[in-house]
């Protein structure tokens, strides 16, 4: 069979629904809207992609050289499944330096393929079907399929705009004896909220009361504005054994395609997370782990510059979006702006985003992708601003056509 004939057979097979071969656990899946928007932007050729959050500027030169050097030095075979020792040691040193968190690299650190794998491996390791997982909404869209892959039951707690605060009564109501974990992303995607110590303490107190884990996605830990402080839940009293911390190189070092992340957890949790990780992926790319050891050893001023650079990009995109007629929710961290689009008078967020892409060539993510009930996000659109100044300026010029 020629390859094009094979492709059409495959396409026909995919097009006709065959329920026998569709697992129940994937039945509720929809394509990631974030990745879909990137594909639509690429298909257009000339689009400015402010949808999927990845930088369009270069990764730090020292990291690129370290990765090339590692390959040349024949670091090309499997690393230890839970992570090359130099990287785990560098991670332990970094958390001790930044947060006074003492971690045993032999028993409490698992290197994995990005925070995405870290999150699903952690959930698969700690949940049983039917366990309940609390998720704050709006949420990063992966958390939904993550809970479905675990056959877990989702409980959603609303973050209320404009400050994205939660109602403590609603939060308490979400906990019950079936609750196994809370997923918490701070600094937050998509809202830009940085949870305060007081808020984290409320969540931690409930986790202790109900014997629940807090699984934190801290991937934007170093992208903070206007003096905001990031507090890992793991550093709060009584939370050292109860928090599972997920993070990655992607955003801090502008290497989203490297897929190197890590999970920090107490030894008993780490032991099961490592097994899930091993069977899922064996390990993250070993030369990139070697470069990661160098990245995690960069001096403090690297992180100060990262935040300062992002703060100027944030200020620029806020100006661009406001001039174009969006109402912006000002982020305190991470690299996204949630906007309200009601002034544009569209039927919904999806129609608006498609129109904006057609008319201006600027791609963004419909707000409904971050809500379990799509209508709750129908008047919102998320823009990312991890882009060069020229890109943000080009977006500004194009959005003026809206």
Toward ligand GLN, which CB reaches closer, 66 or 112? 112
Q: Tell me which residue has its CB nearest to ligand GLN.
A: 53
Toward ligand GLN, which CB reaches closer, 140 or 326? 140
Toward ligand GLN, which CB reaches closer, 195 or 370? 370
Q: Shortest distance, CB of residue 80 to ligand GLN, whole angstroms?
A: 25
Q: Restricting to residues 236-265, which ones interact with ligand GLN according to CB under 6 A?
A: none
Q: Shortest distance, CB of residue 384 to ligand GLN, whole angstroms?
A: 6
Residue 260 vs residues 253, 256, 375: alpha-carbon distances, Å: 11, 8, 35
In the chain, % helix, strand, coil (3-state, to 5) comes to 45, 15, 40
Q: Shortest distance, CB of residue 102 to ligand GLN, whole angstroms?
A: 30
Q: Shortest distance, CB of residue 281 to ligand GLN, whole angstroms?
A: 15
Q: Rounded distance, CA 107 to CA 175, Å?
A: 30
Toward ligand GLN, which CB reaches closer, 35 or 97? 35
Query: Which one of 33, 34, 79, 133 is in contact with ligand GLN (CB under 6 A)?
Result: 34
Closest to 225 (Cα-Cα) out of 368, 332, 113? 332
Q: Shortest distance, CB of residue 37 to ligand GLN, whole angstroms?
A: 9
Sort strands 380-384 and 336-340 into parallel, antiparallel or unpaired.
antiparallel
Toward ligand GLN, which CB reaches closer, 54 or 303? 54
Q: Restricting to residues 161-220, which ones interact with ligand GLN according to CB under 6 A?
A: 189
Toward ligand GLN, which CB reaches closer, 175 or 385? 385
Residues 52 and 37 sit within 8 Å (Cβ to Cβ): yes
Residue 160's SS3 state is strand
Is position 52 an interface residue for ligand GLN (rule: CB under 6 A)? yes
Q: Shortest distance, CB of residue 271 to ligand GLN, whole angstroms?
A: 27
Q: How far apart are the first and last CA of the chain?
A: 48
Is position 6 an interface residue for ligand GLN (rule: CB under 6 A)? no
Query: Which one of 53, 192, 333, 367 is in contact with ligand GLN (CB under 6 A)?
Result: 53
DSSP 8-state code for residue 162: T
Q: Rounded distance, CA 214 to CA 190, Å?
A: 19
Q: Restricting to residues 128-157, which ones interact with ligand GLN according to CB under 6 A?
A: 140
Q: How far is CA 332 from the centre of its chain?
A: 16
- Please name every residue paired with 266 in a beta bridge, in sequence order, or none if there are none: none
Residue 366: HSE in the Cβ half-sphere, 13 Å Cα cutoff? 24
Is position 381 an interface residue for ligand GLN (rule: CB under 6 A)? no
Q: Shortest distance, CB of residue 365 to ligand GLN, whole angstroms?
A: 7
Q: Shortest distance, CB of residue 322 to ligand GLN, whole angstroms?
A: 22
Please give the torsion angle defined by the CA atoms of residues 126, 129, 135 and 139, in that order, rounded to the nearest 10 degrees.
100
Toward ligand GLN, which CB reaches closer, 35 or 323? 35
Toward ligand GLN, which CB reaches closer, 180 or 382? 382
Q: Restricting to residues 73-132, which ones interact with ligand GLN according to CB under 6 A?
A: 116
Query: Which one of 6, 25, 35, 323 is in contact with ligand GLN (CB under 6 A)?
Result: 35
Toward ligand GLN, which CB reaches closer, 123 or 171? 123
Phi first, then psi, for residue 291 (nearest 5°) are -65, -30
Owner of token pair 């201006």: 360
Does a cis peptide bond (omega within 30 degrees of 0) precede residue 162?
yes
Q: Shortest distance, CB of residue 250 to ligand GLN, whole angstroms?
A: 8
Q: Rounded distance, CA 324 to CA 189, Å?
A: 22
Residue 347 vs residues 217, 228, 355, 359, 397: alpha-carbon distances, Å: 33, 36, 11, 17, 25
Toward ligand GLN, which CB reaches closer, 117 or 199? 117
Secondary structure E strands in 195-346:
213-217, 243-248, 261-264, 327-329, 336-340
The contact set with ligand GLN (CB under 6 A) reads 34-35, 52-53, 116, 140, 189, 384
């Amino acid at each position: 069979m020629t390859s094009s004939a094979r492709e059409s057979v495959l396409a026909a097979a995919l097009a006709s629904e065959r329920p026998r071969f569709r697992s129940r656990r994937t039945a509720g899946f929809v394509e990631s809207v974030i990745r879909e928007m990137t594909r639509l932007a690429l298909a257009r050729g000339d689009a400015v992609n402010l949808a999927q959050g990845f930088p369009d500027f270069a990764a730090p030169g020292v990291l690129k050289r370290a990765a090339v050097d590692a390959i040349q030095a024949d670091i090309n075979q499997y690393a230890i499944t839970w992570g090359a020792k130099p990287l785990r040691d560098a991670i332990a040193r970094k958390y001790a330096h930044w947060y006074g968190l003492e971690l045993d690299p032999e028993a409490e650190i698992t290197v994995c393929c990005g925070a995405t794998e870290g999150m699903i491996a952690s959930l698969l390791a700690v949940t049983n079907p039917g366990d309940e997982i609390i998720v704050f909404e709006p949420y990063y869209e992966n958390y939904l399929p993550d809970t479905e892959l675990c056959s877990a039951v989702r409980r959603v707690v609303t973050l209320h705009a404009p400050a994205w605060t939660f109602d403590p009564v609603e939060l308490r109501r979400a906990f019950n004896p079936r609750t196994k974990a809370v997923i918490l992303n701070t600094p937050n995607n998509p809202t830009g909220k940085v949870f305060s110590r007081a808020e984290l303490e409320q969540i931690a107190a409930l986790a202790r009361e109900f014997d629940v884990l807090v699984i934190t996605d801290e991937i934007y830990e170093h992208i903070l504005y206007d003096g905001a402080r990031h507090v890992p839940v793991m550093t709060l009293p009584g939370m050292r054994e109860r928090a599972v911390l997920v993070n990655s190189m992607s955003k801090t070092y502008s290497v989203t395609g490297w897929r190197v992340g890590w999970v920090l957890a107490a030894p008993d949790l780490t032991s099961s997370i490592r097994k899930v990780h091993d069977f899922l992926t064996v390990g993250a790319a070993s030369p990139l782990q070697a470069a990661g050891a160098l990245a995690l050893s960069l001096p403090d001023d690297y992180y100060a510059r990262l935040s300062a650079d992002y703060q100027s990009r944030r200020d620029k995109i806020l100006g661009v979006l406001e001039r174009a007629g969006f109402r912006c929710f000002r982020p305190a961290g991470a690299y996204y702006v949630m906007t309200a689009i009601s002034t544009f008078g569209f039927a919904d967020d999806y129609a608006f985003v498609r129109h904006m892409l057609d008319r201006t060539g600027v791609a963004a993510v419909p707000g409904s992708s971050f809500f379990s009930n799509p209508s709750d996000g129908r008047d919102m659109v998320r823009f990312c601003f991890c882009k060069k100044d020229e890109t943000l300026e080009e977006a500004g010029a194009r959005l003026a056509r809206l």
